[in-house]
Amino acid sequence: MKEVAFSEKECNVNLLKGKKVCVVGYGIQGRAQALNLRDSSVDVTIANKDDDYLKKAIEDGFNIISFEEVTKVSDVVMLLIPDGAHEGFIERYYTDKHKEGSLLIFAHGYGLRFASLEIPVDVDIAMIAPRYPGKQIRDSYLEGGGVPAFVDIVKDCSGNCKNLALAVCDGIGFSKGGLLNVSYKEEAEVDLFIEQFMAPLFYSAVENSMKMLNERGYSNMVSCLELYFSGELGAVRTMMAQKGMYYAFKNNASPTCQYGVASRIDDIFVEELKDQMEYSLDRIVSGEFAKDLQIEQSLNYPTLKKFYKDRENSLINKSEKEIQKYINKG
């Protein structure tokens, strides 16, 4: 029977003693995880292209190796580069140069689920997917705790994949946050669904609410602050993550707010939204989104560039700048 979760007792960072771990990619996730591992007395090296992230890794005192060296010397390779770069890295630097029995770790299930990765048959594969950004991973570790993560032992050819993967989790601090045994397929599909339904729904709701309230004569600054910019919404969501969605709402919102939500929740989610929800998931599961993303990447993200360009002089950007004149938002 598949384990639902891995216990902290199963995790022992000392199993990494004598092992060389390479973090490939020193971005938001890479830096946090590498620093935590080093502070846990793990032998960590960094591989990154020549950019500001590489300069930061050097400033942080890490030993830097080239992509060509990574698989020759590493017992554990942690891929913390963007999903779209996985295939190129594995094909160019990993397939013909890897150590037999080494462990390849993915921080997200996307590449394993949707990309055509030609991973050698004689290596272990695991997914360790944290549920928080790098800052929280680092801060929680420094406070003596950790954040939760999804773990999948994808392929165990050495017989030691689970032990080493959980040792990595222990070194980063995920073992203290909680480790759920989740397949890379489920992680990838649900994660993409959140990004393609929940997130667009929020952004669209804010943009259209700002426009409508402006047309009805309400202050842009007031609307912007009430919608999200005060930080109140983020604080409530944090409390939901700590105490539960309904508990946090019941104990942190006024009766007026609670009644407002309760009286409108069934009306606001119209049938068309349900159709869009189904469409979003179907498009992900079928692989249609992955094909579109591959084309988008090959063209250097024209849709993404247009998204930001179209909003450079938006009502929201203008309102935020106006608010920052009066309120210190960093």
The percent helix, strand, coil of the chain (3-state, each to 5) is 60, 10, 30
Identify residue 277 by its one-letter amino acid code.
M
Residue 74, SS3 per DSSP: coil
Q: What is the DSSP letter of 98?
A: P
CA distance 108 to 126: 10
Instruction: Write b or e for each residue in 254-289: b if 16 or more Cβ atoms lie within 10 A of its Cβ, otherwise e.
Output: eeeeeeeeeeeeeeeeeeeeeeebeebbebbeeeeb
pLDDT of residue 101: 86
Phi then psi dihedrals of residue 253, to 5 deg: -115, 150
Closest CA to 29 of 72, 81, 70: 81
CA distance 207 to 314: 9
Question: Which residue segments constitute the domains of the chain, with CATH numbers given?
Answer: 7-182 (3.40.50.720), 186-326 (no CATH)
Identify residue 272 by its one-letter amino acid code.
E
Q: Are 36 and 138 in contact (CB under 8 A)?
A: yes
pLDDT of 121-137, one tens digit each?
Answer: 899 999 999 999 999 99
pLDDT of 284-296, one tens digit each?
Answer: 999 999 999 989 9
pLDDT of 77-95, one tens digit each?
Answer: 999 998 888 989 999 988 8
Q: What is the mean pLDDT of residues 95-102?
A: 83
Residues designated as active site: 108
The tokens describing 118, both together, are 């030609």
Q: What is the mean pLDDT of residues 211-237?
A: 93
pLDDT of residue 330: 52
pLDDT of 147-190, one tens digit each?
Answer: 999 999 999 999 999 999 999 999 999 999 999 999 999 999 99
Q: What is the mean pLDDT of residues 246-272?
A: 93
Q: Are 20 and 76 in contact (CB under 8 A)?
A: yes
Q: Are 99 and 67 in contact (CB under 8 A)?
A: no
Residue 2 in this model has a pLDDT that exceeds 70: no
